[in-house]
Amino acid sequence: MRTAARHALPLLAVALMATPAAAGPDRFVLEDALTSDGLDFTVTPSEHDLVLGHGNVAFRNDGDLPHTLVDRSGLFEWGPIAPEEGLVFDPWAAGRYRFDEAQEGLYTARSDTGRFSVKPAVGPGGDDWFGQRSVRVRWATRRAPEGLVYDVKYSRGGGWRWWKQGVRAPSKRFVVPNWDPAAMSSCLGFKARLRDPDDPDRKLGWAETGVRCIVVD
């Protein structure tokens, strides 16, 4: 049975909002069922992708049992969510989240894992940051809580390089190295995560914008 680290709970309490009906494009439906093979726990769909500051994650319990979800990083916990109720999580840190039912050992037939990726936000929105000498990059909507830090890498194409390591600030302006407005092509991308610097197992996966390129004919 997997459980979230207990000292992470104060961090989680401010990230949850009760809602009578979780809806929208970024909704996970939780269900349970007794089958001939045992008890099932299912998550539908299995994955969502978001951009930081552009959407929430909603959990809706359509099963008969209450559910509590834990992220595999040990940094987040959502619930308990009663049957026919829901919770909305406003993801404030970029990263790749993977969650399971906290009592997954009870589900002897099937126990799904859900995933959602929260990508860093670049510029004011869209792709209008291409070709600029500097852009604002946001990997969180708030300063990191005490005991946690952010990591951020960038790529110009051809591999990832460290930009920010172990910082608590949520954003910064990125100045493109060796910027040349007359260059025939330009590539740029970012990825970020949240982690506990004192425990290498307590970290989100990397979530990335992807490395985007423009070519001038």
Separation of alpha carbons 50 and 119, rounded Å = 6
Separation of alpha carbons 176 and 72, rounded Å = 34
Q: Per-residue confidence of the chain (217 residues) as pLDDT tens digits?
A: 343 333 333 344 333 444 443 345 689 999 998 988 889 999 999 999 999 999 899 999 999 999 999 999 999 999 999 999 999 999 999 999 999 999 878 878 788 899 999 999 998 765 555 667 888 999 999 999 999 999 999 998 889 999 999 999 999 999 988 777 666 567 889 999 999 999 999 999 999 998 887 765 5
Reported pTM: 0.85
Separation of alpha carbons 210 and 215, rounded Å = 16
